[in-house]
Amino acid sequence: MKGPHNIWRLVRTGATLERTGAMRVVLDAMEAPPALRVAARVLGWPFKWLGIEGDPSMPPAPRALSALGPAYIKFGQVLSTRPDVVGDELANQLRVLQDKLPPFPTEAAKAQIEAELGLPVDQVFSEFSAPVAAASIAQVHKARLAETGETVAVKVLRPGIERAFRRDVDAFWLAADVIEFLSPASRRLRPRDVIAHFEGVVMGELDFRLESASASEFAANTANDAGFSLPEVVWGLSGRRVMTMSWAEGVPLGDNAAIDAAGHDRVALSERVLQLFLNHALRDGFFHADMHQGNLKVAPNGDIIAYDFGIMGHIDEYTRRVYAEILYGFIRRDYRRVAEVHFEAGYVPADRDVDEFARALRAVGEPIFGMDATRISMARLLSYLFDVTERFGMETRTELILLQRTMVVVEGVARSLNPRMNIWSVAHPVVEQYIKTSIGPRAVLRDLQRTAVVLARFGPRLPGLVEEALIRQAEQKDRHPDRRWRRNALWLVFGAAIGAAAVTLMQSWL
């Protein structure tokens, strides 16, 4: 329940942050305003003794978040991908939360599997290892199928995680209300919408049936992508709390020494990982939204392997076109067009001046293009763009949160492989190709064809729709006895006739 009783949870959170030394680290990294600093101290310092001590061997922020529970850990994972928000130092500290958390006992995992599948573990698997990776929501075991001898990865949900997560998220709702109250300017960021979005995404992670479906859809979309592969879901051994997939053999994408030792080209890998993400986001509108190094490997044949499909992003075609035009405008340094796209999409209020907005965007883009290739950063662009759009009244677009966050993550992965990578040069061909196929003349014809198909479906219903409309017009005539209803009825019949003819013609073309 979201309510005042969650004040205790916020007090416990502040006390834990204070006791572990994370309070000052987090506030400094995020450049918190004075009001929030005071509130944090009030919630933390007097109750420091109530805080959870955590693991002293960990840095302050990961130590505090690990002690507080799964939802806090998940937020820490999100922040670890946003050095533009929390700074490089804190982001690096938080990366330990990605896949290096304490595991739960193997026997508990086996009990979870048996309860979910209704079969003894020894009957299904001839081998079953200790945990090979542990995250905030689940852990992974390496196993061998008794029937076929195939090596698989078995992902098991942490026992009791659903209840624990709901309890923690309840406190986040109260925290969002407190932030809005203490800092009215933050309402533009729509913190409650952000929490709702976050809750929806992670609740989806708690059902492995949804993750299995996402993996299957992602595999179908990317089947023809060169240099990219995914493990296959073993549907018969997967359910709500257990997910079994083929084992992905390879070296971690974050281990440069191992990549070099295996003879892989890191420059080519850095370009491929960025272009793959852009293709998935723009071409398919369905992308892996947790593409950090812990979820990527390089296969012996050089393919990039992605796994862990708990967080997937989806954007509709219109939003993809808007996003592509914004990116393409920046790549071409056409700031006027970037400004127009913001206005056309309704991202910026219509009463603002488009020329002034274009000049502000130029101030964002030109310094970045003047930088050396090693310093050009999508994260920096998004940070500057955020500042400018805030000044022009643009609200946070919750549907783009995952897209923007993943773009920053993927850039970080690419840069770790090749620090001298030029982001714009690598992104240009993908974005340009999408623009040609989705915004040019061919796209117009395709949109018209789709419209015709939709209209054709209404063909059999047109007589009924016209009859309903005429009845409404007759009722209007009874209430307002003048000649306008006759004129409206005639136009309605005429329009229906034209519509029927158009639908018939379209059906003949299709």
Based on the number of CB atoms within 10 Å of its own CB, is 62 exposed (0-12), middle (13-18) or buried (19 or more)? buried
Output b/e per residue, 140-178; b: 16+ Cβ within 10 A: bbbbebeeeeeebbbbbbbbebbeebeebbbbbbbbbeb
Catalytic residue list contains 290? yes
195 and 173 in contact (C-beta within 8 Å)?
Answer: yes
- CB proximity list for 145: less than 8 A, separation 6 or greater: 124, 125, 126, 152, 234
Question: Where do the DSSP E strands lie in 221-367?
Answer: 228-229, 242-246, 251-252, 286-288, 296-298, 304-306, 312-314
- Mapping DSSP onto H, E and C, the string for 414-455 reads HHHHCCCCCHHHHHHHHHHHHHHHHCCHHHHHHHHHHHHHHH
152 and 244 in contact (C-beta within 8 Å)?
Answer: yes
63 and 36 in contact (C-beta within 8 Å)?
Answer: no
Check 290, 303, 334, 387 and give the catalytic one. 290
Structure tokens given for 54: 């955590």
Nearest residue to 364 via CA among 391, 401, 399, 395: 391
Cβ atoms within 10 Å, residue 70? 24
Structure tokens given for 316: 């509709």
Residue with tokens 């955020």: 386
Structure tokens given for 416: 């770790």
Output b/e per residue, 396-427; b: 16+ Cβ within 10 A: bbeebbbbbbbbbbbbbbbbbbbeebebbebb
CA distance 192 to 70: 19
* CA diameter of the chain: 88
- Mapping DSSP onto H, E and C, the string for 132-193 reads EEECCCEEEEEEEECCCCCEEEEEEECCCHHHHHHHHHHHHHHHHHHHHHHCHHHHHHCHHH
Residues β-bridged to residue 133: 140
Residue with tokens 């020494």: 257
CA distance 499 to 271: 50
- Residues classed as catalytic: 290
